[in-house]
Amino acid sequence: MNEEILQIAQRIRALRDINGISMESLATYLGMNITDYQALESGKTDISVAIIIKISQKLNVEFAALLTGENPRLHQYCVVRKGHGAHVERMKQYTYESLASNFIHKKSEPFLVNVTPMPKDVKPDFNAHPGQEFNYILEGDMEIYFEDHVIELHEGDSIYFDSSHKHAMKALHDKSARFLALIV
């Protein structure tokens, strides 16, 4: 069992208990069945960034508090030097670098996302979360799967969408793609 996942799961369980929210209620809010939610909260399964964001909103805590165990402290500005954002590796095909994890009361969550190549015949894992999302392609080419649509994006392209709909990204041409994601 991954220690990082276990720690996040323990923080979720503790905060859920403190807030007096049942497992069933949080599972329903997340659109999960209770068995899958119990596996998540026990640390037996990976927890996507989308789920962590949704849980942080429900529990009224900062995303970074669930992720790192530390509350953000900055409230005027937050500088993150190249390569020094809080790293999150949740799903196999994505790595995230949080670009404002130490800023308190954010209105959005900015990430630098790296999408690693997958076999051509494999579809990426879908996720959905409340709000809206903006993606700006910095390097490489990728497909974004949005509900029943597949949209090809290249360096300099962007997309803005309702992130409550199922979506996923896949790098093209056997090369990683990097993009700036802003989740609002």
Domain count, the chain: 2
- pLDDT tens digits, one per residue of 124-167: 888 888 789 999 999 999 999 998 999 999 999 999 999 989 99
Query: What band does 175 get if pLDDT is binned at 50, 70 and 90?
Result: very high
Q: What percentage of the chain has pLDDT greater than the value 90?
A: 55
Residue 126, domain CATH: 2.60.120.10
On whether both 95 and 170 belong to a single domain, the answer is yes
64, 111: one domain: no
One domain, residues 58 and 99: no
The pLDDT of residue 89 is 62
Check which CATH number belongs to the domain holding 35 and give it.
1.10.260.40
Q: What is the pLDDT of residue 150?
A: 94
Note the pLDDT of residue 44.
86
pLDDT single digits (tens) 60-104: 998 888 888 888 888 899 898 998 888 766 566 788 898 998 898
Residue-level pLDDT at 74: 85
Q: How far is CA 102 from CA 12, 86, 116, in A?
A: 19, 9, 27
Contacts of 175 (CB under 8 A, 6+ apart): 117, 140, 141
Is 108 in the same domain as 173? yes
Question: Closest Cα partner for 64 from 49, 76, 75, 79?
Answer: 49
Quick one: 98 and 143 in the same domain?
yes
Q: Given this model, what pLDDT does residue 53 score?
A: 86
Domain extent for 156:
86-183
> Does a structural domain hold residue 76?
no
120 against 133, higher pLDDT? 133
If asked whether residues 105 and 32 sit together in one domain, one would say: no
Give which of 172, 133, 125, 168 is closest to 53, Cα–Cα. 133
